[in-house]
Structure 1
Amino acid sequence: MEYIRGRYSWVIKPMLMIYDVFIINLFSFYMLSFNNEELHFFSYQWLNNKYLLYGIYSVVFWLLSSYLVKFYHVYRYTSPFNIISLLVKQFIAYTVITFAFIGIFRSIDLEAFVTFRYLTNSFLAIALMKFLSYYALKFVRSYLKGNLRNVLIIGSSEAAKELSEVFLKKKELGYNLKGIFSDAKEDYKFSGTVKDCYKFLDKHSDIDEIYCAIDELSEKEVTKFIQYSEKNKSNIKFIPSTDKILTTRLKTDYYSYLPVLSLQEVALNNEINKFIKRSFDVVFSLFVIIFIMSWLSVILFILIKLESKGPLFYKHKRHGINYKEFYCYKYRSLRTTNEVQGTYVQENDHRLTKIGKFLRETSLDELPQFFNVLKGEMSVVGPRPHMLSYTDDYSKIIDKYNFMFRHNVQPGITGFAQVNGFRGEIKSDSDIINRIKYDIFYIENWSLLLDIKIIFQTIINIIKGDNNAY
């Protein structure tokens, strides 16, 4: 998600929307001569006013087409050529929409030339305002020192250095470079090491964007910057090596000619889908907690206590969305309550209790994670959360871009990888590689029906038994 903190430029987008809708309706009133015959598409009397009908139609479909075309996605680094491209796309889309209106209401008789002239004049007025606002902001940044963003660059690659030159020389972009941090020992003006950057960030909460040369940083270092960005509502972006093919997992923007990557907004994270998924999670979790865990926990408390000392529940740290750490709950299945760093439970593990072995084979030990779901730390379905100690190890095997993409959504109690046989102990590199592949497929193809399918498949696997469940 793109964060804009303490700025007023966000007002420009809705103002441009209002202006554009006003223009297309104002010009329609003066340039389109709708006849006075009653429309036969509906029988309602108010539809006699064709200007009102077109006004409602134009607002709805202008906003819809501009959303699909991303007409208002203009940023400080957007080039004039890209703005022209957006104008052309929107012009074509809205031309089709306007002629569709005339085709639907056949009692409207307008010449094609008149309609085309109306569209051309409207878009000239819209284009004029779009470019005026674009260059006005550039003037404000260059000469009035307003609308600035405080940024940091982490890394010493050629691309990182070139990006710093872009920020320093192109004042109209409005980037206030606060420092460049790197562990490289070379004759270049660095503000300090990567560790110095952490100290810098502790003292400065006004950083808007952090640009990381990702190939120079370890997974642990990248994780720290992502966690800072999440906590302080900063944007984190990544500078790829110039000799590497850009991944489609991340969104690519161009600053001048330099590619910069950022975590892409996936369908699973848009507001409507998040609401649908969250509502399903809450209802499903409450059902499990009230009708299953309420009586099962009492029975398990007695059985677990009879076999070994310790609590009913066991908690361990995991990485959630954007690497946020949280305590993941389980019914205790081991004699020990201390997590051994980087150690999954193995087949015939001596630490397992008899009841614990049954709980793990049936996956009932995972049920307390429905409390994590209620707290908003997990989802019912999603990529399984890893032990903290595994995150750094796995990132050395998996492409960093894919690994970060996996942490862009809430982890789940069950997941697409798990129902396809990739769960539990990691015996080889191929296990974690395939697990990530299934997780990414789930993120890119999410739907509520897919969640329901995974839940049913999980229940079937529990009944049938899973060779990897131990």
Structure 2
Amino acid sequence: MEYIRGRYSWLLRPALILFDISIIVFFASYFIDFKTFGLPYWSTGFIKSKATFFVFYASILWLISAYSIKFYNVYRYTTTLNVLGLLIKQSLIFFIIVFAFIGFYRGIEINKITVLKYLVTSISIISFIKFLMFFGLKKYRQHLNGNHRRVLIIGSTDSTQELKDFFTNKSEYGYDLLGVYSSNSSQNTNGNIQDAVEFISNNDAIDEIYCAMDELSENEINTFVKYAELNQCNIKFIPKTANFFSKRLKTDFYNYLPVLSIQEVALNKPFNRVLKRMFDVVFSILVIVFLLSWISIILFILIKLESKGPLLYKHKRNGINYKEFDCYKFRSLRINSSESENYVKKKDQRVTKIGRFLRQTSLDELPQFINVLKGDMSVVGPRPHMLSYTESYSKKIDPYNFIFRHNVKPGITGLAQVKGFRGEVKADEDIINRVKYDIFYIENWSILLDFDIIARTILGIIKGDEKAY
């Protein structure tokens, strides 16, 4: 997720949208004689007047087209050529929108030159204000030191040196470089990686962190990802090669240098996050009240009769953005054993008799609905790994894919699990395929896909799974 920080800058985009719609509405009434318009017989409610009908049509389609081509997605590093390209695209689309309306109502007696004047005037004013704001913000950053971003660079490579030059020499973009830290500390850096960790721990005023992927280890990257999540600052990645592109990471260009950041997927969009969270809360409450409440009493007796120890045990797992949390399970191993030693294998002597039943039926996972209610997990999502396995697996998986996988909450069940990739990892292919299905789930999420995975999980419990041991 990309965080927007600043006092007032987040208001600029909605203000610009409101201004553009106002221009479209005002000049429509100024240039066009709506008395000549005919309306369909079914027009009711607020679309009674001819003017309102056209204005509503033009405004809605302007917003839809602007959203489609990302007309308002202009950032401080966006080039003038890119802004011009957006204006040309939006103008052509709006020309088609207006003339399509006139073509649909063939009975309209209206001068095409008048319509052309309306379009040219509206687009010209919108373009002028867009460029005025674009260059005005540059001058504001350059001469008044406003609207600045405080950034940190981690790594010392040719690409980070190019990025450093960009930040220091392009004052109109408004970046304040707080320091450069590298494992290869030299006179050109402010210290090593540990110094960087200490610096960010004592400084909550960092807006963006840029990490060189070819210099940092997985643990070091995890440290900066966790900080970014906890402090709601943006983390971006400088790829190993300037020719690297990934559809799973958003690529921005600072001059000609590609910089990667985690792409916002459908699952992390505000409405979808609220929808999924509502489903998680309702579903977990139903399971806790109608299933976990009474089954815990029975299992407490059965588990205690076979072996000493608690009913539940908790173990550390990596959640969203590598955040550690305590994951709950019904205890299925003997008290002097730990599941954190390794994945449970077939005919594992550590597993109790009742524990084997719990694992075969996946009932040992039921307490994780408490994790869902707490917000650490989701009902459906990539399964969380043990901390030691997160580190070892990351060496076998493309690092960009592995980071992308941790960009959403882990789940009690997931697409990889219902496709047969669960439990013990016997070969590298097992974890590679597991991550492949996790990535597919994140990129193609829908609430219907969640329902499908839950249904497949329940069916799998009833039929049994040979890998559940």
Q: Report what 1:248 is aligned to.
A: 247
Shift of 1:47: 4.1
Q: Contact between 1:314 and 1:337, CA under 8 Å: does it hold in 2?
A: no
Q: CA deviation at 1:111?
A: 3.8
Farther off after superposition, 285-294 or 430-439: 285-294
CA distance in 1, matches of 2:118, 2:413: 55
Q: Distance in 2 between matches of 1:337 and 1:304?
A: 14
- Return the letter of the residue paired with 1:371: I
Cα distance per residue 1:408-453 (max 9 Å; x no partner): 1111101110111100111111110010001001111111111111
Instruction: Give the aligned partner of residue 386 of structure 1.
Output: 385
SS in 2 for 1:25: helix
Q: What CA distance in whole angstroms lies between the structure 2 residues aligned with 1:299 and 1:150?
A: 56
Deviation at 1:39, TM superposition (A): 1.8
- For 1:67 and 1:445, locate their aligned partners in 2 and report how far apart those are by CA, in whole Å: 20
Counterparts of 1:274-289 in structure 2, within 5 Å, are 274-289=273-288
Whole-Å Cα distance in 2 between the matches of residues 241 and 284 of structure 1? 43
The equivalent of 2:464 in structure 1 is 465
Aligned to 1:334: 333
Q: 2:124 maps to what in 1?
A: 124
Partner of 1:272: 271
1:337–1:180: structure 2 CA closer, same or farther, 3 Å change rule?
farther
The 1:316/1:117 distance shift into structure 2, 3 A limit, reads: same
Residues 29 and 51, structure 2, Cα contact 8 Å, conserved in 1: yes
- Cα deviations by residue, 1:238-261 (Å, 9 ceiling, x for unpaired): 001225521111000001111000
Whole-angstrom CA distance in 2 between matches of 1:107 and 1:297: 73
CA distance in 1, matches of 2:46, 2:449: 44
- Which SS does the other structure have where 1:463 is aligned? helix
Deviations 1:61-100 (A, max 9, x none): 2222212221110000000111011112212222232233
1:165 alignment partner in structure 2: 165
The alpha-carbon distance between structure 1 residues 43 and 207, as it changes in their structure 2 partners (threshold 3 A), is closer
Residue range with higher mean Cα deviation, 96-105 or 446-455: 96-105
Shift of 1:122: 1.0
Residue 48 (structure 1) shift = 4.7
Stretch deviating more after TM superposition (220-229 or 104-113): 104-113
Q: Which residue is 1:33 aligned to?
A: 33
CA positional deviation for 1:316: 0.8
1:46 and 1:278 map into 2 onto residues whose CA distance is: 36
The alpha-carbon distance between structure 1 residues 122 and 54, as it changes in their structure 2 partners (threshold 3 A), is: same
CA contact (8 A) 2:242 2:258 kept: no
Question: In 1, distance between residues paired with 2:338 and 2:66?
Answer: 52
Q: Which moved more, 1:1-10 or 1:310-319?
A: 1-10
User: CA-to-partner distance for each residue in 1:446-470, whole Å, 9 max, x for gaps?
Assistant: 1111111111111121122111111
Q: Quick one: structure 1 residues 447 and 44, their matched pair in 2 at CA, closer, same or farther if it must change by over 3 Å?
A: closer
Question: Cα distance, 1:23 vs. partner?
Answer: 0.9
Q: Deviations over 1:16-41 (max 9, x none)?
A: 11111111111111222223465224
Quick one: which amino acid aligns to residue 311 of structure 1?
P
Distance (whole Å) between structure 1 residues aligned to residue 240 and residue 64 of structure 2: 37
Residue 259 of structure 1 corresponds to 258
Distance in 1 (CA, whole Å) between partners of 2:214 and 2:155 is 9
What is the CA distance between 1:394 and its match in structure 2?
0.7
Q: Paired residue for 2:141?
A: 141
CA apart distance, 1:279: 1.9
Partner AA of 2:362 in structure 1: S
Aligned residue runs from structure 1 range 172-187, under 5 A? 172-184=172-184
Q: In the superposition, relative to structure 1, how do residues 295 and 98 fare at CA in structure 2: closer, same or farther (>3 Å)?
A: same
**Structure 2 equivalent of residue 72 of structure 1:** 72
Q: TM-score, normalised by structure 2?
A: 0.96
Does residue 89 of structure 2 align to residue 93 of structure 1?
A: no
| Aligned residue identity for 2:262 | L
Alignment partners' CA distance in 2, 1:377 and 1:105: 55
| AA matched with 1:299 | I
Q: Is the 8 A contact 1:37 1:48 kept in 2?
A: no
Quick one: which amino acid aligns to residue 16 of structure 1? L
SS of 2:210's equivalent in the other structure is strand
* Contact 1:138–1:172, Cα closer than 8 Å, also in 2: yes
Specify the SS of the correspondent of 2:25.
helix
Aligned partners of 2:153, 2:337: CA distance in 1, in Å? 39
Q: Which runs of 5+ in 2 are unaligned?
A: none
AA paired with 2:10?
W
3-state SS of 1:236 partner? strand
Q: Which moved more, 1:98-107 or 1:132-141?
A: 98-107
1:342 and 1:390 in contact (8 A); partners too: no
Alignment RMSD: 1.7
Alignment of 1:183-194 (within 5 A): 183-184=183-184, 188-194=187-193
Q: Which moved more, 1:282-291 or 1:58-67?
A: 58-67
Distance 1:192 1:424 in 2: 42
Aligned residue for 1:178, secondary structure, equals: strand
Structure 1: distance between partners of 2:325 and 2:46: 57
Is the Cα contact below 8 Å between 1:38 and 1:47 reproduced in 2? no
Matched, 1:61 2:74: no
Q: Is the 8 A contact 1:34 1:108 kept in 2?
A: no
Whole-angstrom CA distance in 1 between matches of 2:303 and 2:147: 61
The one-character-per-residue Cα deviations of 1:302-334 (angstroms, maximum 9, x if unpaired) are 000101111111111111111111111111101
**Distance 1:445-1:37 versus aligned 2 partners, 3 A rule:** closer
User: Any runs of at least 4 consecutive aligned residues in structure 1 with deviations exceeding 6 A, and if so which?
Assistant: none
Find the counterpart in structure 1 of residue 343 from structure 2.
344
Percent identity at matched positions?
Answer: 57
**Over residues 220-244 of structure 1, what are the superposed CA-to-partner deviations in whole Å (9 max), with x where a residue is unaligned?**
1111101101111110000012255
Give me the whole-angstrom Cα distance separating, in 2, the residues matched to 1:79 and 1:92. Answer: 20
Question: CA 1:211–1:169 in structure 2 vs 1: closer, same or farther (change >3 Å)?
Answer: same
1:167–1:176 contact (8 Å) kept in structure 2: yes
Contact preservation (8 Å) 1:141, 1:147: yes
Residue identity matched to 1:463: I
Q: Which residue of 2 aligns with 1:213?
A: 212
Between stretches 413-422 and 38-47, larger displacement belongs to 38-47
Match of 1:9 in 2: 9
2:179/2:189 contact within 8 Å kept: yes
Q: Which amino acid aligns with 1:121?
A: T
Alignment CA distance shift 1:48-1:356 (3 Å): closer
